[in-house]
C-alpha cells in the first residue's frame, strides 16, 4: 500500500500527461513556454485572485513574498509552531525574527489567541517591528482567516497565507490561496496539486506587488532580464512542470478533490469512536493534504504506527518536532511563547494513507487494522 499513490495517478492520467510532455519537448520552449502563462491564468481564475505568478517551489514563493514586503533585520514575523520548516525558515533567511505561535488542538492551525499574545509580547519588548503573520493551511484546511484578519487590522500587520498544503480548500465560497495579502502554494509531488518535481505559485490582487514578484523572480529584471533594476533570484516554473500541472489541475477540479474528501469522510465515520479525528470547522472545506488522527499519548501513537507497519500499512508523523525546537532555531534568532498544544500534537499525531485514488477495500484494510489494534489493547 502507498501512503500517497502518485504512480496510480500517473497510470490514469498517462495518455494526457505523456502527450503534453511530448508537446513541450517538440516545441523546445523549456523555459517560459505558453503552458506557463496558461497555467497561471487557470490558477488565478480557480483561486479567485487577480494575479498568479508561478515560481520554482513553495519555499521560494514564501521568500519572494517577503522580499516584496522588504521583510528583514529588525522585523518580527509570526509563524505557527506546528508546520513544515519552510514557514519559519524563510523569514529567518531574510534576516527577520520568526516568532513561534501555538496552534489550535482541533484544527492544528494557528491559534488567534496565542497569536495576539505573541504580538503584544513583541510590542511590549519593543525591540522588533511586528510586520507579517504567516498563516499556514495545515493538512488542507484553511486557517481561521476571519479572526486572523481582525488581528492583522488591529495591529497593522500583513498576512502571508502559506497555502502549500491548502490548495483546493475553502471557507464558504472563497478558495484557499486568496486569503492572504499575498498567498503561496507548492506543487511538490505529494501536495494536493503536485507536479513531477519542484514547483510553486504566488497569488495576489495587488498590481504593484505582482510586478515586483515578476521582477524579483527573474534576477530583478526591469524592461527585460538583461536590464536589472534590483537584486533578485532565479525562480521559475519549468514549462514541463506547467504542462503536467495543466493536466493534473483538470483532474483535480473535475474529481480528485471530491474523491479525496470522500476518502476522508469514510475515515471519519469509521474511526471517530476509536481515535480523535481531525475537525473541519463549520463552513470550511479541506483539500486533505493529510488525514491526521490523534492518539492518547506518544507510546500509543508509536505502538499503533509499528502495528500498522507490520501489516504493511504506511503512516507518517507530521510533525514530530515543534518548529521552535528545531536545532536551527535553538539560538537567540527566534522568540517562543507558550507552546503547549504543539508539543502535545507532536507526540500524539499520526497521518494515515490518503489520496484520491484510494480504493474502498484498501481503506477498509487500514480501518480494520486500527480497530483490531484497539480491541487487542482492550484484551490485555
Ligand X SMILES: *Cc1c(COP(=O)(O)O)cnc(C)c1O
Nearer to ligand X, 160 or 370 (CB): 160
Q: Which of residues 198-257 bind ligand X (CB under 6 A)?
A: 198, 200
Q: Which of residues 86-125 bind ligand X (CB under 6 A)?
A: 86-87
Q: Which of residues 155-174 bind ligand X (CB under 6 A)?
A: 162, 164-165
Among 58, 194, 232, 353, binds ligand X (CB under 6 A): 58
Q: Which among 53-61, 96-104, 355-363, 365-373 is the span making contact with ligand X, rule CB under 6 A?
A: 53-61
Residue 63 Cβ vs ligand X, minimum distance, rounded to whole Å: 10
* Helical segments of the chain, H only: 6-27, 34-47, 58-68, 86-93, 112-125, 145-155, 207-216, 239-251, 257-271, 298-310, 340-348, 360-379
Q: What share of residues in the chain are helix, strand, coil (percent, to 5)?
A: 45, 15, 35
The CB-nearest residue to ligand X is 58
Is residue 80 involved in binding ligand X (CB under 6 A)? no
Is residue 84 involved in binding ligand X (CB under 6 A)? yes
Q: How long, in residues, is the chain?
A: 380
Among 136, 177, 242, 313, binds ligand X (CB under 6 A): 136
Residue 76 Cβ vs ligand X, minimum distance, rounded to whole Å: 19
Is residue 188 involved in binding ligand X (CB under 6 A)? yes
Residue 332 Cβ vs ligand X, minimum distance, rounded to whole Å: 24
Nearer to ligand X, 280 or 304 (CB): 280
Strand partners, 183: 161, 203
62 Cβ contact partners less than 8 Å away, ≥ 6 residues apart: 86, 87, 90, 134, 160, 162, 184
Residues touching ligand X, count (CB under 6 A): 15
Is residue 63 involved in binding ligand X (CB under 6 A)? no
d(CA 220, CA 194): 27
Q: How many CA atoms lie within 13 A of 52 on its CB side?
A: 24
Nearer to ligand X, 165 or 363 (CB): 165
Q: Which of residues 296-355 bind ligand X (CB under 6 A)?
A: none
- Burial label, 26 (beta-carbon count in 10 A; 0-12, 13-18, 19+): exposed
Residue 110 Cβ vs ligand X, minimum distance, rounded to whole Å: 11
Nearer to ligand X, 141 or 186 (CB): 186
Is residue 78 involved in binding ligand X (CB under 6 A)? no
Is residue 54 involved in binding ligand X (CB under 6 A)? no
Residue 96 Cβ vs ligand X, minimum distance, rounded to whole Å: 16
Is residue 77 involved in binding ligand X (CB under 6 A)? no
Nearer to ligand X, 110 or 366 (CB): 110
d(CA 206, CA 82): 29
Q: How many CB atoms within 10 Å of residue 303?
A: 14
In the β-sheet with 200-204, what is the strand arrangement from edge to edge?
51-55, 200-204, 182-186, 158-162, 129-136, 75-80, 97-101, 335-336
Residue located via cell numbers 523546445:
28
Strand partners, 132: 77, 158
Question: Would you state the torsion angle of the CA atoms of residues 321, 322, 325, 328, taken in this order, to the nearest 10 degrees?
Answer: 90
Residue 292 Cβ vs ligand X, minimum distance, rounded to whole Å: 13
Nearer to ligand X, 200 or 271 (CB): 200
Nearer to ligand X, 103 or 304 (CB): 103
User: Are the CB atoms for 193 and 254 separated by under 8 Å?
Assistant: no
Site string for ligand X, 1-40 (x = CB under 6 A): ----------------------------------------
List residues binding ligand X (CB under 6 A). Answer: 57-59, 83-84, 86-87, 136, 162, 164-165, 186, 188, 198, 200
Amino acid at each position: 500500500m502507498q501512503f500517497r499513490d502518485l504512480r496510480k495517478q500517473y497510470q490514469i492520467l498517462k495518455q494526457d500527461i505523456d502527450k503534453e510532455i511530448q508537446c513541450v519537448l517538440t516545441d523546445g520552449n523549456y523555459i517560459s513556454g505558453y503552458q506557463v502563462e496558461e497555467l497561471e491564468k487557470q490558477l488565478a481564475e480557480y483561486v479567485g485572485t487577480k494575479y498568479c505568478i508561478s515560481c520554482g517551489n513553495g519555499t521560494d514563493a514564501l521568500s519572494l513574498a517577503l522580499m516584496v514586503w522588504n521583510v528583514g533585520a529588525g522585523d518580527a514575523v509570526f509563524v505557527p509552531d506546528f508546520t513544515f520548516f519552510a514557514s519559519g525558515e524563510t523569514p529567518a533567511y531574510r534576516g527577520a525574527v520568526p516568532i513561534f505561535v501555538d496552534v489550535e488542538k482541533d484544527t492544528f492551525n494557528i491559534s488567534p489567541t496565542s497569536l495576539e499574545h505573541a504580538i503584544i509580547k513583541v510590542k511590549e519588548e519593543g525591540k522588533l517591528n511586528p510586520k507579517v503573520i504567516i498563516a499556514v493551511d495545515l493538512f488542507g484546511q484553511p486557517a481561521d482567516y476571519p479572526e486572523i484578519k481582525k488581528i492583522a487590522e488591529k495591529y497593522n500587520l500583513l498576512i502571508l497565507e502559506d497555502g502549500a498544503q491548502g490548495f483546493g480548500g475553502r471557507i464558504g465560497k472563497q478558495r484557499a490561496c486568496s486569503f492572504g495579502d499575498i498567498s503561496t502554494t507548492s506543487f511538490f509531488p505529494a501536495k494536493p496539486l503536485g507536479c513531477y518535481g519542484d514547483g510553486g505559485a504566488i497569488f495576489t490582487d495587488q498590481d504593484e506587488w505582482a510586478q515586483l514578484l515578476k521582477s524579483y523572480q527573474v534576477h530583478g529584471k526591469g524592461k527585460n532580464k538583461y536590464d536589472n533594476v534590483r537584486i533578485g533570484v532565479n525562480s521559475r516554473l519549468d514549462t514541463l512542470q506547467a504542462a503536467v500541472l495543466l493536466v493534473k489541475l483538470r483532474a483535480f477540479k473535475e474529481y480528485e478533490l471530491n474523491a479525496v474528501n470522500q476518502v476522508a469522510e469514510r475515515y471519519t465515520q469509521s474511526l471517530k469512536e476509536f481515535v480523535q479525528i481531525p475537525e473541519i470547522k463549520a463552513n470550511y472545506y479541506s483539500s486533505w493534504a493529510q488525514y491526521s488522527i490523534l492518539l492518547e499519548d506518544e507510546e500509543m501513537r508509536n505502538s499503533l504506527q509499528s502495528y500498522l507497519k507490520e501489516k504493511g500499512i504506511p503512516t507518517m508523523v507530521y510533525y514530530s518536532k515543534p518548529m521552535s525546537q528545531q536545532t536551527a532555531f535553538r539560538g537567540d534568532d527566534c522568540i517562543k511563547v507558550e507552546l503547549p498544544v504543539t508539543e502535545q500534537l507532536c507526540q500524539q499525531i499520526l497521518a494515515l494513507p490518503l489520496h484520491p485514488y484510494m480504493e474502498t477495500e484498501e481503506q477498509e484494510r487500514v480501518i480494520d487494522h486500527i480497530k483490531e489494534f484497539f480491541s487487542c489493547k482492550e484484551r490485555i
